[in-house]
A and B are shown apart, each in its own frame.
Chain A
C-alpha cells in the first residue's frame, strides 16, 4: 500500500486537516478576520464533502483501520454537513472573538467524527473518540468571559475522560479475550464458546464509555450543564455531530463486534448479552430524561434532558438489532441531529438579542420574530414527534422495528415505555410553544433581529425537517441500502 493510495482514501480527512491549519494560521496572523475564517472553514467543509463523494464505493485499509463503505461515506457527509451548519451558527456567537482557534477546534472535532465513522477497528475508534472529545472540551470552555462556560468545559472534560478510561479499559479486556482489535475478527472469535466473565466485564465497560458519550442515563449528568453553559455552537455540535458519530460507531461495535453475544431483552425471556444492558439504559434514559425535563425553565437545559430521552429512544433500534434496527437508529439520530442544530440556532439568536435563554426570553417570540418562532415550532414539534415532521416518522420507524424484532412482541414493554415517555415529553414541548405563541413578551418592543445568513440556514434546516417528514423514504432508503 503506497502513501498515495492512503492519501486518496483519506482525502476528505486530509482536506479538513489542511483547512483547520489554514484557519488557525489566518486567525493567528490577522486581527478581526472572523468573516474570512468562517468562509475558509465553510469552503473546506464543502470541498471535503465533495471529496467524500469522489471516494470509491468500498475499500479497506490495514485491517479495518480505515473502511470505506456507502454507510461510512453517507455519515461522513452528514457529519460534515452538521459541522457546516455549526460554522454558520458560530458566525454570530461571542466565540467570534478568536474565530480562528474556535473554528480550527471545530474542524479537528469533525476529523475525529470522520475517523470514528470510518473505522472498524477498536484502536482507531478510540483515537477518533479522543480527538473528538479533546476538541469538544476546548469548545465547551471557549467563552472565557462566562463562568458557566468554564463549568461546562470542566464537567464535560471530567466526565468525558472518565468515560474514555472506561472505554479503553473495556477495549483492553476485549483485546485480551479475542487477541484482535478488528471488529469483524472479534465477532468471529466470540462466536465460539460461552461468554467468559472477563469478556462480559469488557463489554459492559465499553458500553458504559459510550453511554457517557451519548448521555444515556445514569451517565448523563454532564449533559445539562454542558448544553446550558457551553457557547451555543459548541453545545449544538456536542448534541448533534458527536452524537451521530457515537451512535454509528456504537452500532457497529455491538452489531458487528459483539454480534454473537446479542442476548435478548424480551419480557419474560431475557437472555444475558449486551441488548438487555442497552434496553435498561434506554428505559432509564427515557424515564429520567422526560421526567426531569418537566421541571426545567431554561430552554437549553430542557433540550439537554430531552436529549437524554431521545438518546434512549435511539437505543431502541440497537436493542432490536439487525439491519432494520440499525437503520432505524441511524435514521433517528440523523434527523434528531438536524433538528437539534436548528433548535440551538434559534436559541443562539434569541440569546444574543435578549441576553438569556430562559423561558421568559422566549415569551411572545411569535410577535417579535415570526420566522424564528415558526422555525422553532417546527423543530420542537419534530422533537415531540408530531406529523408531518421528521421526528414522527423517525419514531414510527424506530418503534415498529423494535416491536417487530422481539419474538411474539417481546419488546412491547420497551415500546410502551417509550410511548409513555413521548406522552410526557409532549407536555414540556407544548409549554415551550405556549411561551412562544401565547405568552406576551415582557418588553414588547424588542424585535429579535437575525442576519440573512442565519435566517437562510434556519429556514433550510426547518425545511429539511419538514421534507424529511413528508418524504422520509429518500433518507431511509439510502440508509437501508448502505447497510450490508
Chain B
C-alpha cells in the first residue's frame, strides 16, 4: 500500500512531461495529495506492532547476479518520514501555485525530488536506497538553477557539489559494507558482525557522507546559500525533506550497520552537533536577509537531530526522528512565509526594509502564520518543536549532561534570533519618514503605491499554511501518535547502549 507513494509520484512526474501545461499544477497537486493520503491511510491502518520491525512490503529480484533486489519495507521511522514528505510536498505544490515560467518542468523536477525521497525512506535494499538518494540531487540543481533567485547558479552548484561529495563518501561506505558482508539487504546487514577495524573507518566515512546532507557543522555552508537561492518550493523541499534524507541515512545505514564504530565516534558527533546548534543560531542572529535567518535556523535545528542520534539511547534517537518530522513541517512553513507570502509581494527579504512596511497590518494572515511558525520553531510548548527537542534533551541528559547544559543555554539564542526576525519582519514600527529620507533604510521608492495594491493572501497559500500549522499543532499536542510508532522501531535497532 505505502509503496504506492513512490509509484504515484513517479507516474505524476511522467504525466507532466506529456500533458499540456494547463493541467500541470493540478496534476502535481493531485499526485502529492495522493501520496499524502496514502501515507495517512498507512499511518492509521498499519498495526503498531508491525511497525517495530522493518517489515517487507515488496521484494522482487532485480539484478540477480549481484544480489540486488527491489526491496521496500516500512517501520515506524520510515512511516514518520513518509508522512512528513507527504505533508510538505502537498504544501509545496500549494505554495507554487503562481509558477508560470516553464511550469511543467518545474513540477516535474519537484515531483522527482519527492518521489526519490519516498524511495529513500522505504528502501530496504542498500543499492536501491542509494539509487533514490542520488536521484534526488540532480532535480534539486535544476529546481534552483532555473527557477531560483539570488545568486541562483552559484547556490545550486554549491549545493549539488556538496551533496555529491557526501554521496561519494556514502558510496565508499556502502561498497565497504557490501563487499564485506556480501549482501545488500538492509535487514541482513543490520545483523552482520563487521570487523571492529572496518567499523572504525567505515562508520565515519558513511555517517559523514550522510551528515553533509543533514547540514552538519562544518559542512553546512551549502544549506543557507542553497536555501536563499532556491525558489520557495525548493527551500521548502530542501529544509523539509532533503535534509532529513541525510539524517535518516545516518540512522538507518551508518549507525545500524556499524554500532561499534558509532559508539567510538558518538562523542565527536555530539560535539559537532552542539557546535552546529550554537554556531548557526549565533550566525542567524546577525543576518539581514530573512531567508538566511531561516536557512541558518535549519542548520541549528538539524543540530538537535544529530545530538539526538548521538545519544545512542532509545529516547534520544526517537526524539531525533520526531524532530526530523517537526522541523520538516516548521521549516517548510517558515520558508513559505518568507519566500512566497512576503517576497512575492514586497520583493525584498531585507529585514530592515521589511520592518518599515507595517506588514502585520497589510498581511494579517501572513503575520499570524509567521507568529505560529516562530513559536513552534522556538520550542514553545504545544507545538511539535517542543515535544521533539525536550525528548532529545532528556535522552541526551543520560549520555551527555554537559551538552544539555550548553544546548539549553543555546536555546536562548534560538529564541533570540527567531524573535528578532519576527519583530523586524512583521511587528516592526513603521519607520519614521525621517529615517527613510536619510536613506538609512532601503525601501523600494514606489513602495507606498504598492502597499495599497498588495495582493491579498491567496486561497492555495492559506490551505498550504493551514495544513502545516495543523501538523505542527497536532503533533505538539499529541506526540504519542508518532512516538508510539517511532520508539519500538528505534528499540529494535542494535546500536542502543
Contact = CB atoms under 8 A, between A and B. Distances in A.
A404 B181 CA distance: 10
A429 B27 CA distance: 31
Contacts of A471: 62
B496 interface: no
B153 A438 contact: yes
Contacts of A8: none
A416 B179 contact: no
Interface string B126-145: 01001110110110011001
B63 A472 contact: yes
Contacts of A476: 63, 65-66
Interface stretch (B163-171, B351-359, B380-388, B470-478): B163-171
A473 B145 CA distance: 35
A363 to B, nearest CB: 13
A368 to B, nearest CB: 14
A416 to B, nearest CB: 6
A403 B161 contact: no
A434 B134 contact: no
Interface in B169-209: 171-172, 175-176, 178-179, 198
A409 B179 contact: yes
Contacts of A423: 161, 164-165, 168
A387 B168 contact: no
B271 interface: no
Contact of B63 (A419, A427, A473): A473
B146 interface: yes
Nearest to A406: B179
B434 interface: no
Interface in A413-428: 415-416, 419-420, 422-423, 426-427
A246 B66 CA distance: 26
A325 to B, nearest CB: 13
Secondary structure of the B contact surface, majority rule: helix
Nearest to A420: B168
A472 B65 CA distance: 10
B219 interface: no
B313 interface: no
A434 B175 contact: no
B171 A387 contact: no
A474 to B, nearest CB: 9
A297 B63 CA distance: 38
A18 interface: no
B157 interface: yes
Secondary structure of the A contact surface, majority rule: helix
A480 B65 contact: yes
Contacts of B62: 471, 473
A249 to B, nearest CB: 24
B178 A400 contact: yes
B323 interface: no
A395 B453 CA distance: 56
A154 interface: no
A392 B131 contact: yes
A137 interface: no
A384 to B, nearest CB: 8
A426 B161 contact: yes
Contact of B64 (A388, A419, A477): A477
Contacts of A412: 172, 176
B135 A437 contact: no
Contacts of A400: 66, 175, 178-179
A430 B168 contact: no
Given A400-B175, A423-B161, A473 B64 contact: yes
Contacts of A427: 157, 161
A388 B165 contact: no
A313 to B, nearest CB: 13
A55 interface: no
Which of A392, A400, A404, A422 gathers most chain B CB within 10 Å? A400
B134 A392 contact: yes
Contacts of A422: 168
Contacts of B157: 427, 430, 434
Interface in B195-243: 198
A387 B141 contact: no
B160 A426 contact: yes
Nearest to A366: B105
A438 B146 contact: yes
Contacts of B64: 473, 477
B173 to A, nearest CB: 11
A381 interface: yes
Contacts of B176: 403, 409, 412
Contacts of A419: 168, 171-172
Interface string B449-482: 0000000000000000000000000000000000
Contacts of B134: 386-387, 392
- B interface bracket (residues with beta carbon within 8 Å of A): 20 to 34
Nearest to B133: A387
Contacts of B138: 381, 386
Contacts of B130: 387, 396
B178 A438 contact: no
A397 interface: yes
A396 B127 contact: yes
A471 B62 CA distance: 7
Interface string A348-384: 0000000000000000000000000000000001000
Nearest to A426: B164
Contacts of A437: 142, 145-146
Contacts of A247: none
Contacts of A472: 63
Given A381-B138, A404-B179, A438-B146, A477 B65 contact: yes
Nearest to A387: B131
A326 interface: no
Nearest to B61: A473
A476 B66 CA distance: 9
Contacts of A393: 63
Contacts of B198: 409
A222 interface: no
A415 to B, nearest CB: 7
A403 B145 contact: no
A237 interface: no
Contacts of A397: 66
A403 B168 CA distance: 14
A409 B132 CA distance: 26
A393 B66 CA distance: 11
A219 B145 CA distance: 37
Given A404-B179, A437-B145, A473 B153 contact: no
A399 interface: yes
Contacts of B165: 423
Nearest to A396: B127
B166 to A, nearest CB: 10
Contacts of B127: 396
Nearest to A438: B145
Which of A381, A415, A419, A433 gathers most chain B CB within 10 Å? A419
Contacts of A409: 176, 179, 198
Contacts of B160: 426, 430
Nearest to B168: A419
A407 to B, nearest CB: 12
A421 B161 CA distance: 13
A434 B145 contact: yes
A444 B198 CA distance: 56
Contacts of A433: 141-142
5 contacts: A386-B135, A388-B135, A397-B66, A434-B157, A438-B146
Interface of A: 381, 386-388, 392-393, 396-397, 399-400, 403-404, 409, 412, 415-416, 419-420, 422-423, 426-427, 430, 433-434, 437-438, 471-473, 476-477, 480
Closest 9 CB pairs of A and B: A473-B63, A404-B179, A387-B131, A419-B168, A403-B175, A403-B179, A438-B145, A423-B168, A387-B134
Given A427-B157, A471-B62, A473-B62, 12 more contacts: A381-B138, A397-B66, A399-B175, A403-B175, A409-B198, A419-B168, A419-B172, A426-B160, A430-B141, A430-B160, A472-B63, A477-B63
